[in-house]
Structure 1
Amino acid sequence: MIRHIVCWKLSATDEAVKAEHAARISREMAELPALIPEILSLEVGTNALYSEVNWDLVLIADFEDAAALERYAAHPEHQRVGKFIGEVRSDRVAVDFEV
C-alpha cells in the first residue's frame, strides 16, 4: 500500500479568505473517495496550532499501489480539485511511502 501525504500553504493573507479556501479544499477532497475508486482512505486536516510556522492543510490518502495513485492523480475529478488548489496555494510538499 502507498500512503500519499500532501501539505499545502495557502496564499491568502486574509484569515477569513484563507479559512474559506481551506474549507472548500477539505469539502471537495472529502467528496473524492465516492468518485475515485482507487482511494482506499482519505483524510484532510486543517492546521490547528502554530500557524506562523505550520502548513495550513494536510491530505493523507492510501492507495493499493503506485499505479492506483497515478490513476487517482490523472482522474478528472482530482484534476478539477487540484486546479483550484493550485490557484490558492503558495507552496506544496508531498511524501509517498509504502505502508
Structure 2
Amino acid sequence: MIRHIVLFQLASADPAEREAHIAEAGRRLRALVGVIPGVRSLDVHANALDDERNSDFAIVGDFDDLAAVEGYAVHPAHVEVIDYIATIRKDGTRAAIDVEV
C-alpha cells in the first residue's frame, strides 16, 4: 500500500475562509473514493500548530500501489479537485511524498 501525502499553504489570511476552504477540499477529495480505481481513502487535515513555518493543511491518501497513485494524478475527477485547490493555495507551496506502508 502507498500513502500519498501532500502539503499546502492557503492564500487567505481570514480564519473563517481558511476553515471553509479546508473543509471544501476535504469534501471534494473524500468524494473521489470509489470513483478512482485503487484509491482506498482520502482525507484532509488542518495544521494544529500556529507556526508560519508549517503548511496549513495536508491531504493524506492511501492507494493500492504506485500505479494507482499515478492513475489518480491524471484522473479527470481528481484534476477537478486540483483546479479547486489551485484557487485556494499560495502558489508554489505544494510538497508531497509517497511512502510504502
TM-score of the two chains, using structure 2 as the length reference:
0.87
Bigger proportion of residues as helix: 1
Which residues of structure 2 form unaligned runs of 5+?
none
Higher strand share: 1
Partner residue, 1:46: 46
Offset, 1:79: 0.3
Within the alignment, does 1:97 sit opposite 2:99 as a pair? yes
What amino acid is aligned across from residue 13 of structure 2 in structure 1? T
SS in 2 for 1:10: coil
Cα drift, residue 68 of structure 1: 0.9
Question: In 1, Cα distance between the equivalents of 2:67 and 2:32?
Answer: 17
Change (3 A) 1:51 1:17: farther
Report the equivalent of 2:56.
56
The corresponding residue for 1:35 is: 35
Query: 1:51 Cα shift?
Result: 4.5
For residues 43-95 of structure 1, give each alpha carbon's deviation from its aligned partner in whole angstroms, at most 9, with x where no partner exists: 22112222533211111111122111111111111000010101211111100
Q: Report the residue type matching 1:96 in the other structure.
A: D
Q: SS at the partner of 1:83?
A: helix
Letter paired with 2:35: L
Which stretch shows the higher mean deviation, 19-28 or 47-56?
A: 47-56
Q: Percent identity of the aligned residues?
A: 43
Matches within 5 A, 1:65-76: 65-76=65-76
Number of matched pairs:
99
CA distance in 2, matches of 1:47, 1:31: 22
Question: Separation in 2 of the partners of 1:41 and 1:16?
Answer: 26
Q: 4+ residue runs of structure 1 moved beyond 4 angstroms?
A: none
